[in-house]
Amino acid sequence: MPPIDRPHSRSCAFCRVLAGEIRAYIVYEDEQTCALLDHRPLFPGHCLVIPRGHYPTLPELPSELVEPLFRAVRLLARAVPQAMGAEGSFVAINNRVSQSVPHVHVHVVPRRRGDGLRGFFWPRQRYASEEEMARTRDAIRTAIASTREQ
């Protein structure tokens, strides 16, 4: 695939993560995408998958980036439940409404039966420590490696 122009926004938190200006727990990255732990997860292991260029919403994402973005989402949808001992995952995108960062991002959230997530009211929580966040990142990275080998 030819190189894709990757515009960035100086005011976008995700563009600043990609530039190394904001610390993030990266669980996966390739030439076109990056996946990181959500700093206020619904459940530990909640990841955000983003394109490397700044595109505010999914409809604005160039067609040639849809497949690479969802290839990464698919990988995380397998790896996150494996890493977190979950039964499945929830995958979602907000476009403008409820989109806290105006840079297209796909949520991949580990799910368990009876986990309390109902409808569209999702209470957020924080990781107990930086160490817990690092352990979660490492578990997902290990699961990604395992998933890619299958």
pLDDT digits (tens, 9 = 90+) for 41-81: 999 999 999 999 999 999 999 999 999 999 999 999 999 99
pTM for this model (two decimals): 0.83
105 is catalytic: yes
- Of 46, 54, 103, 105, the active-site residue reads 105
What does the domain layout of the chain look like in residue ranges?
25-112+127-149
| pLDDT 10s digits, 74-89 | 999 999 999 999 999 9
CB 73 within 8 A of CB 108: yes
| Token pair in block for residue 83 | 């890493």
The pair of structure tokens assigned to 7 is 């515009």
Residues in the chain: 150
Q: Per CATH, is 25-112+127-149 categorized as 3.40.630.30? A: no
